[in-house]
């Protein structure tokens, strides 16, 4: 169990887009639960996960807490962290460009320029595990050049 990550959010969006999402929250997730959930991402029914050090969502968005996100699936992943004053600092794909890739195809949807879309699931898992273990950005990845807010 991570001393830092207290919550894994992994909602399910029914194939019928008229139905509301089913909220799924795993309190004090193990790395195995997180890895299995990331591997399950499919852009539609399971489009994203959020790892957070707080259980209350309002605490996560008050500016005092951090979190880590993965959106996508099926070989296309947007990875970002709001850590140490950065806000949704994205992992960079140095081979990408400004062509949009759909990463969430249900509900509200989400797409991103390919410069911020990773295609190697093992790299995505490594970045998530680094956050899980160290509450930091994986130094083996290139991250968006961004000035911290704090």
Q: Residues 27-80: pLDDT tens digits?
A: 999 999 999 999 999 999 999 999 999 877 665 555 666 899 999 999 999 999
pLDDT in tens, 88-105: 999 999 999 999 999 999
Range scoring the smallest mean pLDDT among 11-20, 87-96, 117-126: 11-20
**Is residue 143 in a domain?**
no
**Is residue 2 in a domain?**
no
* pLDDT of 62: 57
**Is residue 57 in a domain?**
yes
Share of the chain above pLDDT 70, in %: 92
**Is residue 53 in a domain?**
yes
* pLDDT of 104: 96
Q: Domain of residue 52: give its range.
A: 7-134
pLDDT category of residue 4 using cuts at 50, 70 and 90: confident
pLDDT category of residue 124 using cuts at 50, 70 and 90: very high
CA–CA gap between residue 32 and residue 44 (Å, rounded): 22
**Is residue 65 in a domain?**
yes
**Is residue 141 in a domain?**
no
Q: Determine the 3-state secondary structure of 125 from DSSP.
A: helix
The CA-based dihedral angle spanning residues 4, 49, 136, 111, taken in that order and rounded to the nearest 10 degrees:
-160
* pLDDT of 54: 84
Tokens of 100: 């949009």
Q: How many domains does the chain have?
A: 1
pLDDT category of residue 116 using cuts at 50, 70 and 90: very high
**Is residue 117 in a domain?**
yes
CA–CA gap between residue 43 and residue 23 (Å, rounded): 16
**Is residue 1 in a domain?**
no
pLDDT exceeds cutoff 80 at 84: yes
């Amino acid at each position: 169990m991570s001393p830092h990550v207290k919550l894994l959010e992994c909602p399910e969006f029914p194939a019928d887009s008229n139905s509301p999402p089913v909220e799924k929250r795993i309190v004090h997730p193990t790395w195995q639960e997180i890895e299995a959930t990331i591997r399950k991402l499919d852009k539609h029914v399971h489009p994203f996960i959020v790892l957070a050090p707080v259980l209350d969502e309002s605490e996560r968005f008050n500016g005092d807490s951090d979190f880590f996100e993965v959106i996508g699936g099926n070989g296309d992943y947007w990875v970002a962290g709001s850590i140490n004053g950065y806000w949704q600092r994205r992992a960079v794909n140095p081979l990408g460009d400004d062509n949009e890739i759909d990463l969430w195809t249900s509900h509200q949807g989400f797409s991103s320029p390919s410069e911020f879309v990773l295609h190697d699931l093992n790299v995505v898992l490594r970045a998530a595990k680094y956050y899980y273990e160290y509450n930091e950005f994986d130094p083996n990845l290139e991250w968006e050049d961004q000035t911290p807010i704090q």
